Amino acid sequence: MIIRSKAPLRLGLAGGGTDVAPYSEIYGGSILNATISMYAYATICPRNDGKIILNAIDKQEQYELKSEEHLKINGKLDLHKGIYNRVVKDFTGKPLSFELSTYVDAPPGSGLGSSSTLVVAILGAFAEWLGLPLGEYDLAHLAFEIEREDLKMAGGKQDQYAATFGGVNFMEFSKEDNVIVNPLRIREKYLDELSHNLILYHTETSRLSSSIIQQQSINVTNRNETTITAMHKLKEQAIWMKEALLKGQLDKIGEILDFGWQFKKNMASGITSPLIDEIYAMAIKSGATGGKISGAGGGGFMFFYCPGTTRSKVVEALKKFGGQTKRYEFTAKGLSAWTI
C-alpha cells in the first residue's frame, strides 16, 4: 500500500502580513491569495519493522529512526517529526512504523508558503492513511497549530488554508482568532490573462522569513505607528484586489500591487534590499505597472504585473540580475490525497 498527497503553493496577491499575530488578533486581517501549479508532495509507505524513515528528497536528507510515540525535535526534518508527534498524540496513541518521502517544487525561503504547504501535504497523507476525521478547516487549523504552537515557527495563517482549500480566496482573520475562507468565482478568461501578465521571478536568493515576521510582530506589540498604518493599508489593498478580480478590471492590478508594495516595505526592516529595489525599478522601467516580493520579504520570488505586450520586455530586462522567470498556472484545487 502506498499513500500519496499533494498540496499547491500560493501567491499572496494582497493583504500579506495582516494574518500574523498580534495584528490579526487586535485589528483583524484580510488577505487575497491564489494557488498555483507548484506543489508540495508526500508519500507514506507503511512498514512493520518498528522503524521510521524520513526522506526529504529535495533537501537530500534522510534519517532512520526507531518508532516511538515522540520523536526528538533537534533540527533534523523537524516539520516531519512535529506532524508525526501530533498525529500520535491526538489520534493514534501509539507509535507508527512507515517511510515518509517528501518533495517541494520551490526551495525553502521562496516566499510561496512552501513550509506550511508541506505540513498540509504530510498531514493530508496521514489523514488518508489513518482515516482521520478532519475537514478542510480542521486540517488547516491543525497544520497551523503544529507549525506555530508545537514547533514555535514564526508566521501567519494564510498558507495552511490556501494549501488546503486551493483556488482564489479572500480570507478574513477575525479578532476572535477565527478564520473564514471565501472562495472567489473569477471568470476563467480573467485568470488566464492574470497568469499571462503576472510574471513570477525567482531572485536566486533566499531569506529567513521568521526574523522579518518576528520584527513585524514586535513592531505591532510596541504600537509602532508606521507599521500599523502600513498593515491597515494592506488590508484595504486586499479588498481592492478582490473587487478588481471579480469585475475583470485587470488594468488596475499593477496599480494595486504597487500600492501594497510601498506600504509593505514599512512593516519591518529586511523586507526589501538594494537588489530587490533595483529589480523592482527595472521591471517598472521595462513596462510592469506594479509588483511585490512574495511572502515575508527579503528574497525568494517576486512577481510583476505586465499589461498588454510588455511581458517579454520585462522578462528580458530581468535576465541581467541572474534570476529565473517561472511559468505557472492558477489552480482551483487544494490538498488531494489518495491510496494505491
Q: Alpha-carbon distance 119 to 308, whole Å?
A: 38
Q: CA–CA separation, 244 vs 307, rounded Å?
A: 14
Instruction: Find the catalytic residue in 19, 105, 159, 258.
Output: 159
DSSP state for residue 323 in the 8-state scheme: -
Least Cα distance to 118 among 136, 142, 143, 98 occurs for 143
At 274, which helix (H) or strand (E)?
helix 274-285
Q: What is the grid cell recorded at 90?
A: 491526538
As a whole number of angstroms, the distance between CA 62 and CA 53 comes to 7
Cβ–Cβ under 8 Å, residues 179 and 173:
yes
**DSSP string computed for 212-247:** HHHHHHHHHHTT-HHHHHHHHHHHHHHHHHHHHHHH
* Residue 209 backbone dihedrals phi, psi, to 5 degrees: -65, -30
Phi, psi dihedral angles at 311 (to 5 degrees): -55, -50
Where do we find the cell 508527534? 85
What angle do helix axes 78-87 and 114-130 make, rounded to 10 degrees?
40
Cβ pair 180, 171 in contact under 8 A: yes
Per the structure block, which three cell numbers stand in for 172?
478574513
Contact 20, 267 (CB under 8 A): no
Q: What number of other Cβ atoms are within 10 A of residue 175's Cβ? A: 11
Catalytic residue flag (residue 159) = yes
In angstroms, the CA 149 to CA 144 distance is 8
Euclidean distance between CA atoms 78 and 97, whole angstroms:
17
Q: Which residues are the active-site residues? A: 159
